[in-house]
Amino acid sequence: MSKIKFVTVFWIFAFLISAAESKDKPNILFIFSDDHTWQTISSYGHPLSKVVPTPNIDRIGAEGIRFDRCLVTNSICAPSRAVVLTGKYSHLNGQIDNFNTFDGGQVTFPKLLQKSGYETAIVGKWHLKSVPTGFDYHEVMRGQGRYYNPTLYTDGEPTEYEGYNTDVVVDRSLDWLKNRDSDKPFMLMSQFKATHGPFQPALRHLGELDDVTVPLPDNFFDDYTGRSRAPGNHNTSIANVMPLSNLSIDYRNIQGEQLAQYRSHFDEANDAFEKANLQGDERAEWRYQRFIKNFLLTSKGIDENVGRLLDYLDESGLAENTIVIYAADQGFFLGEHGWYDKRWMYEECLKTPLLVRWPGVTQEGRVSSDIVSNLDFAPMFLEMAGASIPSEIQGRSLVPLLKGAAPQNWRKSFYYKYYGEQRGGSVSEGYYNHGVPPHEGVADKRYKLIHYKHDDVDEWEFFDHQRDPSEMKSVYGNPEYAETIARLKTELEQLKTQYRVN
């Protein structure tokens, strides 16, 4: 065989092998929502999720695995998204808060999947300000986007859509799936604005819970004693702080009959509330009911749309070779401690939902209590795709956990850091956004140690979840725990060295 013929045959052969390998690679559908906390997802078993169940999201866990202790490194929107993309803590990926702009020039898992032969796309919420990189296709909202009749942008070019945001994100995701380059495996990120505030359900769900009274959480009227001063300086009270605009709507682009229905649901209720001038518990109860019902019905829109995506995978025959992941950017308070919002290292928002279905790999209905994190998503996606994991990535792939069990040397503790968002004024008067100051800490399966060190503040909190799952009393000064606290302080320093914080 002549040299030229040999080279030609070699390349044809190499191309066929590569095409065959690409065909074998699993597709990845990563469904990611905003603030859609684990308490609302029924498979996690929280009483709130019984009010509005989530059968479609539950199905992912029932046919795959549910992670019960998935912790975020920095419980706020844009930073969590940057951690997911890079597999690195905020101080290394640069996205420490919602104010700065994501550096799209750095290494991210979508870029590495592209190199590995994947067609990549992101549709929906982005929230990182810079133009998405590493995607063959992107169609994203600017900033928070609108719930009703949203505008999505591709390369800065706007397209206006009629309808409800969560429906539109799935319409556009399905459109991309149907028209993609089907010779390649795909990785699609369908990212919802829901359930971020202002809490606005789809028109079809407005008023569905009007006859229901949702029980207040046991610690709704928390007096914040028995802990550091930090929680008492909060600015996230549902009863007194949450603006009514969170229970209202954005009227841009809404007209006619739609407008009349929204006005009737939101404005008339808010007007009646203002007129009634309720006080004390009555006022708190009214505001909680409005908040929680709108939140839960916004969640319902997510679940329905997850169902649409799963149905399409079934109908198209893609389900068998497509991994489905459901997660949110962080958890959220739904009235616990009297709060809405996130940011704190407390359980409600430190923990985020994570469910993964990988046909032929995940054993149906498994539950993992191992400590996993959004830091682990990037390496997980890379290993799923058969791509190598750069050493600079700080998370660990969850693939071994999906296949069976955590390796012996899996993490036993977890490092958290929230940076605070400075607004001005005094520390106790809203200097930090939502009154949440910078803090860091370490958590394991039973204990949590939090350090508030900023300005002239230097305070610790320590919780034993076995005795105090709701984190109502810090036992930092209790000599019974002195040894454990000392151990966790050492652990905290070791983790900071390991993750290059120090």
Stretch that binds Ca ion, among 29-37, 103-111, 153-161, 423-431 (CB under 5 A): 29-37
Nearest to 40 by CA among 198, 165, 214, 188: 214
35 counts as binding Ca ion under rule CB under 5 A: yes
Cβ neighbour number for residue 357 with a 10 Å cutoff: 24
341 counts as binding Ca ion under rule CB under 5 A: no
CB of 83 to Ca ion, least distance (A): 12
- E strand intervals along 231-377: 322-328, 354-357, 366-368, 372-373
309 counts as binding Ca ion under rule CB under 5 A: no
202 counts as binding Ca ion under rule CB under 5 A: no
Sign, CA torsion 455/234/342/478 = positive
304 counts as binding Ca ion under rule CB under 5 A: no
Q: How big is the CA angle at 308 (ends 162 and 192), to the nearest 5 degrees?
A: 60
Joined together, the tokens standing for residue 492 give 């905290």
Would you say 332 or 452 has its CB closer to Ca ion? 332
348 counts as binding Ca ion under rule CB under 5 A: no
119 counts as binding Ca ion under rule CB under 5 A: no
Runs of H (alpha helix) within 317-396? 347-350, 377-384
Percent helix, strand and coil across the chain, each to the nearest 5: 40, 15, 45
336 counts as binding Ca ion under rule CB under 5 A: no
CB of 71 to Ca ion, least distance (A): 15
- Binding residue for Ca ion (CB under 5 A) from 31, 71, 77, 302? 77
CB of 70 to Ca ion, least distance (A): 14
Stretch that binds Ca ion, among 39-47, 72-80, 243-251, 410-418 (CB under 5 A): 72-80
Q: Are 350 and 373 in contact (CB under 8 A)?
A: no
Stretch that binds Ca ion, among 31-39, 169-177, 186-194, 400-408 (CB under 5 A): 31-39
Stretch that binds Ca ion, among 45-53, 88-96, 179-187, 328-336 (CB under 5 A): 328-336
Give me the residues paired with residue 454 across strands. 457
CB of 94 to Ca ion, least distance (A): 18
Sign, CA torsion 289/291/292/296 = positive
97 counts as binding Ca ion under rule CB under 5 A: no
Q: Indicate the residue whose CB is closest to Ca ion.
A: 77
Cβ neighbour number for residue 129 with a 10 Å cutoff: 15
48 counts as binding Ca ion under rule CB under 5 A: no
34 counts as binding Ca ion under rule CB under 5 A: yes
Question: Which residues lie closer than 8 Å to 264 by C-beta, 6 or more apart?
Answer: none
Length of the chain: 502
Size of interface with Ca ion, in residues (CB under 5 A): 4
Residues in touch with Ca ion (CB under 5 A): 34-35, 77, 329
